[in-house]
């Protein structure tokens, strides 16, 4: 009986092995066949096609189309674009250290915000300065990308920059030496009211965990009793840095994230390696819809380990890991190689990428997500990002603010002009955390907007026009014409009324932009916390120890 059973097992194993080998052979044949076809097509195009082809461009287009059918994170970097890939991983580049933007009104690229202590700042460049030329190359009528490319270069190289200051009309030129620029991963941290510390992490670049650890230790030495850790608008980055940041708050030896892919050697488990700084202090992590990747590993691991309360709105849902592969001729392929799984065992990837028909996406519905459990038994779910423990919606940006702040084709740039003039008139302003636009200042801004010819499309008018069009199509419009006319009058665009109604949000935007010119990004962040609903709720939660504990240990 045992012999028969053994023979049966061997037979089944042989059948399975044969089927697997057949599948591998079929796959390998399909790969070879299609590569041969692609090679033959291009050879014939190169020999016979009526025009001479640029091999790099034509084959490059084919490569891009192939990768586009996979997912948005798999990208090819030829040799000439390798600097761009390096910047992604390190956050470093060589240039003058300033944000630039296109001013639609004057059709020129202008300085928007110099970084603190960087060459642009040291040279005295200001918000609104018009870039006229770089060395002997005119920058007039050039795009932002063109100007940016010329401002960047190798560290230590110098150039002559010619600008015009809009508030005085004076033209100036200066010699600027390019420097390796790395925007701070932690642009701002500090103590808030009630012994609460705040750390804002912008991105997960090399060394950011050390910055967060040092900031945390410094705040703790200043008497911090609870921490608000801000990961809103943080698109992620280094996975290992995320693990090190979690390690600040959880003991050594904890499994934080597991990578699983097709190749066994790429299956990696990341555990905490160091002794933590603090495992008991209340921590609230702020997240939002732009919180992604390494930010989700950090917030998700702290949630799964019941170490922090997650507050805000559902995160992006990127549960994929990318790996770089060297290619011939000094190129590189950044490709999706793994999915990652946080301590509860869940993967929070929100989108399934399908490769048929040139590639398409499927969002995973909540009904198909599965239950997992935190260390303390709380229910969490996979697929669809990290769902906060406490949901607090942020203030939405009013439609008029989007049009005032944008530099679209119809923009009057009245907001930018007002801010540049305000900065020119004020040598100093109040401390960043206290500064606000006065009622008199806002009234001046309002009058300038009214006189500028600024227009925008209110969403209500757009929807009304669509409704009228649909009513006419379905034959209801004639019977409801009087009601439509009355509704149109009530929804008539009134710029003065809109500026008054949206005054609180517009004052905050103006204040943040102006503060950045005096106190840089750290000041803009400190100022933005005034009236921040999510921040206020986080502080309230830390002070209410009973509610905080109830969330983590229901």
Query: Any idea which residues carry the catalytic annotation?
Result: 293, 304, 318
Give the Cα-Cα-Cα angle 141, 147, 153 (nearest 5 degrees): 155
Burial class (CB in 10 A: 0-12, 13-18, 19+), 433: middle
CA dist 85 and 78 (Å) reads 10
First to last CA, the chain: 55
CA dist 196 and 170 (Å) reads 46
Helix, strand or coil, per DSSP, at residue 460: helix
Pairing of strands 309-312, 283-287: parallel
Cβ atoms 392, 535 nearer than 8 A: no
Residue closest to 292 by CA, chosen among 256, 320, 316, 259: 316
Pairing of strands 268-271, 130-134: unpaired
Residue closest to 296 by CA, chosen among 364, 349, 370: 349
Instruction: Tell me the DSSP string of 261-293.
Output: ESSGGG-EEEE--S--S-SSS-EEEEE-TT--T
Q: Each residue of 144-165: b (16+ CB within 10 Å) or e? A: eeebbebbbbeeeeebebbbbb
Where do we find the tokens 């779910």? 381
Pairing of strands 188-192, 196-200: antiparallel
Cβ atoms 214, 190 nearer than 8 A: no
Residue closest to 161 by CA, chosen among 91, 106, 97: 97
Q: Give the tokens for residue 138.
A: 């005119």
Burial class (CB in 10 A: 0-12, 13-18, 19+), 339: middle
Report the 10 Å Cβ neighbour count for 417: 18
- Beta-sheet strands, E only, within 306-365: 309-312, 320-327, 331-341, 351-354, 360-363
Question: 68 has which bridge partners?
Answer: none
Instruction: Tell me the DSSP string of 422-441.
Output: HHHH-S--S-TTT----HHH
Cα 384 from chain centroid (whole Å): 17
Report the 10 Å Cβ neighbour count for 53: 12
């Amino acid at each position: 009986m045992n012999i028969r059973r053994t023979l049966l097992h061997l037979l089944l194993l042989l059948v399975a092995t044969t089927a697997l080998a057949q599948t591998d052979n079929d796959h390998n044949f399909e790969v070879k066949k299609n590569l041969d076809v692609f090679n033959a097509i291009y050879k014939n195009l190169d020999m016979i096609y009526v025009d001479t082809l640029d091999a790099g461009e034509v084959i490059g287009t084919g490569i891009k189309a192939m990768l586009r059918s996979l997912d948005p994170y798999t990208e090819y970097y030829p040799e000439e674009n390798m600097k761009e890939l390096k910047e992604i991983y390190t956050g470093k580049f060589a240039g003058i250290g300033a944000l630039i933007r296109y001013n639609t009104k004057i059709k020129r690229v202008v300085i928007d915000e110099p970084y603190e202590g960087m060459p642009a700042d040291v040279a005295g460049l200001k918000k609104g300065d018009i870039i006229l030329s770089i060395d002997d190359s005119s920058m007039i009528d050039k795009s932002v990308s063109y100007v940016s490319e010329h401002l960047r270069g190798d560290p230590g190289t110098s150039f002559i920059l010619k600008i015009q200051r809009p508030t005085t009309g004076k033209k100036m030129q200066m010699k600027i030496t390019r420097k390796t620029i790395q925007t701070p991963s932690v642009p701002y941290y500090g103590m808030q009211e009630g012994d609460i510390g705040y750390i804002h992490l912008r991105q997960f670049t090399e060394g950011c965990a050390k910055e967060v650890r040092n900031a945390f230790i410094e705040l703790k030495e200043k008497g911090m009793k609870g921490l608000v850790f801000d990961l809103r608008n943080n698109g992620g980055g280094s996975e290992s840095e995320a693990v090190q940041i979690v390690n600040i708050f959880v003991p050594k030896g904890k499994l934080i994230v597991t990578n699983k892919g097709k190749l066994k050697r790429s299956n990696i488990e990341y555990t905490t390696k160091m002794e933590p700084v603090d495992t008991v202090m209340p921590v609230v992590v702020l997240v939002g819809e732009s919180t992604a990747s390494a930010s989700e590993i950090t917030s998700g691991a702290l949630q799964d380990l019941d170490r922090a309360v997650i507050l805000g709105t559902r995160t992006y849902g990127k549960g994929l890991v990318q790996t770089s592969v060297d290619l011939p001729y000094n190129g590189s392929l950044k490709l999706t190689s793994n999915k990652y799984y946080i301590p509860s065992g869940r993967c929070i990837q929100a989108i399934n990428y399908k490769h048929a028909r040139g590639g398409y996406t499927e969002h995973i519905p909540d009904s198909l997500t599965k239950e997992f459990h935190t260390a303390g038994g709380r229910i969490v779910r996979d697929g669809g990002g990290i769902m906060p423990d406490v949901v607090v919606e942020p203030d939405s940006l009013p439609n008029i603010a989007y049009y005032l702040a944008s530099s679209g084709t119809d923009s009057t740039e009245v907001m930018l002009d007002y801010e540049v003039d305000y900065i020119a008139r004020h040598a100093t302003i109040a401390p960043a955390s206290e500064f606000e636009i006065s009622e008199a200042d806002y009234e001046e801004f309002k009058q300038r907007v009214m006189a500028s010819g600024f227009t925008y499309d209110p969403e209500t008018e757009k929807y009304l026009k669509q409704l009228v069009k649909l009513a006419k199509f379905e034959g209801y419009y004639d019977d409801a014409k009087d009601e439509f006319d009355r509704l149109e009058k009530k929804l008539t665009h009134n710029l003065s009324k809109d500026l008054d109604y949206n005054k609180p949000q517009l004052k905050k935007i103006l204040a943040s932009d102006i503060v950045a010119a005096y106190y840089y990004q750290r000041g803009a962040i400190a100022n933005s916390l005034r009236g921040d609903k999510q921040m206020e709720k986080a502080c309230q939660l830390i002070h209410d120890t009973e509610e905080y504990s109830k969330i983590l240990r229901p």
